[in-house]
Structure formats: structure tokens, C-alpha cells
Amino acid sequence: MSDKKKKGSISAYSILLLIIIVLALVTFFVPGVEKANLATIVMAPYNGFLDAIDVCVFVLVLGGFLSVVTKTGALDAGIKALVKKLHGNELVLIPVLMSVFALGGTTYGMCEETVGFYALISATMVAAGFDTVVAAATILLGAGIGCLGSTVNPFATGIASDAIVSLGINVDQSVVIGLGLFLTVVNLVIAIMFVLNYAKKVKNEKGSILSSLEHDAMMEAYGKEYTAEADDFNGRKKAVLCVFALMFVVMIISVIPWDGLFGEEWLLGVFGWSEFLTGQPLGWWWFGELAMWFFLGSIVIGIIGGLNEKEIVDAFIFGAGDIISVVLVIAVARGASVLMTQTGLSDWILSSASSALANVPGFVYAPASYLLYLGLSFLIPSTSGCASVTMPIMGPLTAELGHNPAVIVMIFSAASGLINLFTPTSGVVMGGLKIAKVEYSTWLKWAGKLILLLGVINCVILTVAMLIF
């Protein structure tokens, strides 16, 4: 291996700080926005932490929870049993898991919640003979493509549609759901084929894209040997994994906005009993409630796993400490978004672009809008935030030009979803890669061609949709 291959890449923190500095400098060349001063730059990471405090606490507790589960030995035994059962058929994990994550993405916007899966799936993929690029791709591309083709995702197409409807403009949900489903399937099939092709090469030892430093970090974190002498998968460990699975099932159920689907009365009638635990019924939980859910789960799993009080506490503190670097990445990443809001730079870009798009034909309006949303989604990585800010402008403009507002909703969803597969301003992207021990530059090098291909295909699909509908 060459010396060049052994060199480390610039860290995620440095990349994010450089982005903050560049954005601050841009404000000096843009008329009508507040100029970012030194104080704005210095305080951006702190303000980002305040803005993302709920996610940060959730990730810290999740790190402690996973450490307690690992301490029981149940994960090691379970992974050994799974790999043994799939011997020779490990590749099946990839399409199955990617499809599951895509389902979560398209239905309820599964995103931040995926952080909890990176360590587990990284360990599983390495044990199956792959590397953590495969693990990161399985989660990030799976859930991300689901969000890209959101069908009933309330945090993307839901908020976007509501922002337009509230202005008295109809949004045809059959077009939104149909186009979203089509985008999800097309993108997911392409992505699965791409990941499978790479996974086969890694499995056959024909080349991993990881540098030697990344490979060493991966093996140190996830390269445990699952030999025949490993702990037996006994009843106690099976019970731990059953509770472990239940924790994530409840997490998924708890964040689906059931009231938006079936009404508040239905939600309270079905899940009202569950508010005794956190003060909020399932369906109204968010990161605060989820953090405490996993905190309680740490205690329960520790007891079931036979750990004493000191072992549970020590394991939890160790896990939370081990994942603090991920929390810092999330905070600094959010700082870039906060700076954009404080200076008004994102509003200026939206206003200027919407003025430029007036009076253009559909075959120009669709791809131009797609490019606009690629830029806006980079600057505003929050899908719901981007929809809330932009749709009151883009929705009426689309209708006024005689185009279908439902298509602009999907243009926003597709562009936002594509950007969130790689943007460094997303705490999920940077945090997930950090857990998987994959450098950001490595991810860009590996996934860049796929992302570019998906972007072109989506632009063509959405332009055709704009002309047809």
C-alpha cells in the first residue's frame, strides 16, 4: 500500500468549520443580508449545539444504551448466530435492510433515528466479510432514498403540501404519492445494485476503498472474531435481544404522526394509555422522550443480562463518552445552518432564484427548480424547515405559471433527499460516518458517481412529470 493511501483525511470538524467560515465570508458579497462578524463565526458551533440539543442528548443516551447491550454479550452472540445462519448468503442482508430503511424514510422521514443502527450494522457487516462502507451505505442510502421519494412523510411532503394548501392552492396527493413511490423504487433499485457490486468486491478481497488508517479503525471497533468458541446464544442473551428489538420497534411507532393520518381522537384512543411513561402518548414522542426511553431500556437490559449496578453504570458512561465525538459533529454541523438563518443568506438565495424562475417554460422551470432546491437543501439541511420557508413562495409561483404544485412538492423532496445523502451540514451524515469509521472524503469518493447518477435520473423524471401533469 502506498504512503499516499496511508495518509489521513481532513477531519469532519475541520470541514464543517471551514464551511462556516466560507458562509460567513459570502455574506460580505451579498447585498441585503446581515454581515457575519467574528462573534457570529465563533458562536456558531455553540448555537448549533443549542439548536440540536435534543438530538445530541438522544445520541449520548443511545451510545450508553448500546454499550450496556454490548456488555451483556448478547449482540456478539446474536451476530455470530446470524452470520453462521447466512453463511454464503450474506449479501441478502443488503437489499433487505436497505428496503426496510427506505420504507421508514418514505413513510415517516426516518433520518436522525438511524444513528442508533450504525454501530450494530457496522459490526454485522464486518462479521459478514464486508466493510463499514457497506454498512454506512445500507443505512444512509436506504433511509435517504426513502426520504428522497417521500410518499406520506409528514416532515417533507406533508409540511410542503400543507404550506401550499394553507394559501388556498390545491395539491393533488395522488400525484405526490404516485410520483414519490416511483422515485423511491427507481432510486432504490439502482442503489442496491451499486452497493451489492461493491460488497461483492470486498467479500472477494478485490479491494476496499478504505485507507489503511480507516481499515485499522474499523477493525479496532468492529473486527471481533466470531469463532466457534464464542459465547453460546443462550436464553438470557435471546431475551436481551428481544427487548433490544422491542426498543427500536417502539421508537418507530412513537414518532409516526398517527394524528395526522387518522386524527387526534384515534391516536388518543389507541395510544393514550402510553402517556403515563413520558407524559406524551406514542405518536407524539420526539428526541426527549426517545432519550429517556432508551435510558430506561439500558437499565432493564442490564438487569436481564445479569449485570450488577456498577457494571450497568460503567458501561453506560463508557458508551456515552465513546460517542461524544459524534455529538460534537452534529452540533458543529447544525452551526452552519444557524449562521445561515441569522444572516438571512438562505432567504436571499430563495428570493433571488424565485424571481429568476418567473415566466420560464416547464421544461426549464422543473430542472431549474431542482437545482434551486439542491442549493437550498444544502443551506437548510432540515427538511421540514426548508419546506416551511420555501413552499409559501414556490407553491404559488408554480401554480401561477400553470404548472402542477404537486410536482414542485416532489422536486423539493427529491432534491432535499439527494443532498442529504452527502451534505456535510447534516449531523446524520457526518455522525453516521463517524460511527462507521468512514472518512467524509472516502464517502464522497465512493458514493459520488452514484449520487450524480441519481440526481440526473431524478431531474429527468421530475421534468417529464412537470410536462405531463
Q: Is the per-residue pLDDT at 431 higher than 70?
A: yes
- 174-178: average pLDDT: 89
Q: Are residues 382 and 155 in contact, defined by beta-carbon separation less than 8 angstroms?
A: no
**Distance, CA of 66 to CA of 273 (rounded, Å):** 28
Region 81-102 average pLDDT: 86
pTM: 0.74
pLDDT at residue 115 is higher than 90: no
For residue 369, is pLDDT > 60?
yes
Q: What is the pLDDT of residues 208-262, one digit of tens each?
A: 999 999 999 999 989 875 544 444 778 888 899 899 888 878 887 887 778 877 8
State pLDDT tens for residues 269-291: 989 998 999 999 998 888 889 88
- pLDDT for the residue 2: 39
* pLDDT confidence of residue 378: 84
Contact 210, 442 (CB under 8 A): yes
pLDDT at position 180 = 94
416 contacts 146 by C-beta, under 8 angstroms: no
* pLDDT of residue 392 exceeding 70: yes
pLDDT value at residue 225: 59
Q: Do the beta carbons of residue 144 and residue 420 sit within 8 Å?
A: yes
**Worst-scoring range by mean pLDDT, 25-34, 37-46, 153-162, 368-377?**
153-162
Instruction: Quick: pLDDT tens for 332-362.
Output: 877 887 888 888 887 887 788 878 888 788 8
Q: How confident is the model at residue 112 (pLDDT cuts 50, 70, 90)?
A: confident
Q: Is the pLDDT of residue 10 over 80?
A: no
Q: What is the pLDDT of residue 86?
A: 79
Mean pLDDT of 134-147: 96
Mean pLDDT across the chain, nearest whole number? 86
Residue 388 has a pLDDT of: 77
Q: What pLDDT is attached to residue 228?
A: 42
**3-state SS track over the chain:** CCHHHHCCCCCHHHHHHHHHHHHHHHHHHCCCCCCCCHHHHHHHHHHHHHHCHHHHHHHHHHHHHHHHHHHCCHHHHHHHHHHHHCCCCHHHHHHHHHHHHHHHHHHHCCCHHHHHHHHHHHHHHHHCCCCHHHHHHHHHHHHHHHHHCCCCCHHHHHHHHHHHHCCCCCCCHHHHHHHHHHHHHHHHHHHHHHHHHHHHHHHCCCCCCCCHHHHHHHHHHHCCCCCCCCCCCCHHHHHHHHHHHHHHHHHHHHHCCHHHHHCHHHHHHHHHHHHHHHCCCCCCCCHHHHHHHHHHHHHHHHHHCCCCHHHHHHHHHHHHHHCHHHHHHHHHHHHHHHHHHHHCHHHHHHHHHHHHHCCCCHHHHHHHHHHHHHHHHHHCCCHHHHHHHHHHHHHHHHHHCCCCHHHHHHHHHHHHHHHCCCCCCCHHHHHHHHHHCCCHHHHHHHHHHHHHHHHHHHHHHHHHHHHHC
Average pLDDT for 16-41: 88
pLDDT at 313 over 80: yes
Q: What is the pLDDT of residue 144?
A: 95
What pLDDT score was predicted for residue 3? 41
> Is pLDDT larger for residue 113 or for residue 423?
423
Confidence (pLDDT) at 12? 67
Indicate the pLDDT class of residue 425, thresholds 50, 70 and 90: confident
- Give me the pLDDT at residue 467, please: 94
Mean pLDDT of 429-441: 92
The predicted structure's pLDDT at residue 4: 40
pLDDT of residue 193: 97
